[in-house]
Structure 1
Amino acid sequence: MRFSAPRVALCALVLAVAAVTPAAAFSPKVTVRYTFDGPSPLADATGRGYDLSPVSRYGGTFTTVAHNGGRALAFPPPCHTEPCPRIALRAVATDLNPGRRPIRYGAAVRLAADETTKGENVLQKGYSASGSQYKLQIDGLAGRPSCVFVDDRRPQIHTAIAATGVADNRWHTLECRRAGPHLTILVDGTPRGQTVLPADLSVTNHLPFSIGGKGSFADNDQFQGVLDEVWVEIG
């Protein structure tokens, strides 16, 4: 089979670009990452400026603890008598709206058996009751992590729940992964639960990205353990 000169030239150009372009150039972009290290523990480690700001009430605060050669954040311990200390860390970041695109996000967590509640938020953007949302949470006495998605237009909550709990006072890595119609929860790198999402499900809202809780108000789903290496990748 013979090709015209312009076609041959185009093929040569494509091959040349492929030869000099590193594979890393096509890797998902790290949109935001928080390592909680250094002199500014709430700084966005990617340098994009999505630094966190605390919102708190009733003395809610965090402390830093040693972890893996760096630092991690410890949130308020369990409280059973109101008013309880509450705190969330927020960043205004509209770029963290994935729309319909693939998205991965996660964190390293340490949670003891006596630190579980009916619901603790690790990270989220948006609210399920108003607008859209993606979220990573740890629920129930067994401390089972799950991933949540809610569409811009439809209020149905889609949840991928892990078959195993993580409330054993050990460090675990958690990841939520949306790829095509599938939403998967991974625990320590292994898929532990999955659900199917509508192909057109979209998450786009103007609400802040939050870590450790919805906010500082009552019923804020306060996280009560230790967090490290919080990250989001879109695309």
Structure 2
Amino acid sequence: MIARYGFNGRVATILDESGLGHNLRVVAGHGGQVRPVVHGPGNALAFPPRCVASLCPHVALQSPNTADLNPGTRNLAYGADVLLLPTQTSKGQNVLQKGYSKTSSQYKLQIDGVAGQPSCVLVDVRRPGIRMVRSSVSAADGHWHSVRCERAGSRFDIYVDEVLRGRSRIPATLSVANNRPLSIGGKGAYRDNDQFNGALDNVWLRIG
């Protein structure tokens, strides 16, 4: 485990429970903020609800850039517990990402479209082009769901509540390495940030 966030401490600085120091800070714009909500024996974090105004609250949680969050060609898994209402879906909402599809390599977990289907994305550092695997089921039903993306060699899978819900093949040489922060809940604090509009808990990343 290279990073893990349970969101049970202070919101201002969110500690990496893996012990490796990839702590998160809140970046926000237009009044965006996260707030603790009860989840099981601890807390989760709720992000701003869906907004269609010209200026909407934006917020994300970001780590400093560090090379040890880059998997390269190694096996990779990442995921989160997600809570999203069916009335809060949108074109695309980012749960977790590092890098951008157009300007660098990337790994990402997102919730797509009105149906609220989770999907996982990988983009190679040498040959840009989105590789995606999408869940066959929705996660936007007002209940908590655990979602996991897993890359093992040339296999790329998505699991919802520990059940395999999608599989695709990728080049075994696909490599992800960039100088961007790990970002949770959105790309950043700017307007086009693919804001997540539900609650997140137990976000994690494993490499190797």
Assess same fold via TM > 0.5. yes
Query: Counterparts of 2:9 and 2:50 in 1: how far apart (Å)?
Result: 27
Identical residues among aligned pairs (%): 51
2:148 corresponds to which residue?
Answer: 175
Q: How much does 1:195 deviate?
A: 1.1
Higher mean C-alpha deviation, range 92-101 or range 205-214: 92-101
Query: Counterparts of 1:154 and 1:218 in 2: how far apart (Å)?
Result: 28
Q: Comparing both structures, which one devotes a greater share of its residues to strand?
A: 2
Q: TM-score by structure 2 length?
A: 0.97
1:86 corresponds to which residue?
Answer: 58
Can you list the C-alpha shifts for 1:33-91, whole angstroms capped at 9, x where unaligned? 00001346711112221110111110000000011100000000111112000011100
Query: Counterparts of 2:117 and 2:127 in 1: how far apart (Å)?
Result: 26
Determine helix, strand or coil for the equivalent of 1:158: strand
2:90 corresponds to which residue?
Answer: 117
1:161 corresponds to which residue?
Answer: 134
Q: Comparing both structures, which one devotes a greater share of its residues to helix?
A: 1
Determine helix, strand or coil for the equivalent of 1:107: strand
1:70 to 28, 32, 42: 42
2:21 corresponds to which residue?
Answer: 49
Report the residue type matching 1:233 in the other structure: R
Query: Counterparts of 1:221 and 1:129 in 2: how far apart (Å)?
Result: 15
Can you list the C-alpha shifts for 1:95-119, whole angstroms capped at 9, x where unaligned? 1100000011000000001110000
Aligned residues: 206
Query: Counterparts of 1:118 and 1:39 in 2: how far apart (Å)?
Result: 31
Q: Unpaired segments of 5 or more residues in structure 1? A: 1-29
2:191 to 196, 200, 218: 218
Name segments (4+ residues, structure 1) moved above 3 Å.
Answer: none
1:234 corresponds to which residue?
Answer: 207
1:192 corresponds to which residue?
Answer: 165
1:18 corresponds to which residue?
Answer: none
Q: Unpaired segments of 5 or more residues in structure 2? A: none
Report the residue type matching 1:33 in the other structure: R
Larger radius of gyration: 1
Report the residue type matching 1:46 in the other structure: S
CA RMSD of aligned residues (A): 0.9
2:7 corresponds to which residue?
Answer: 36
Q: TM-score by structure 1 length?
A: 0.86
Q: How much does 1:151 deviate?
A: 0.2
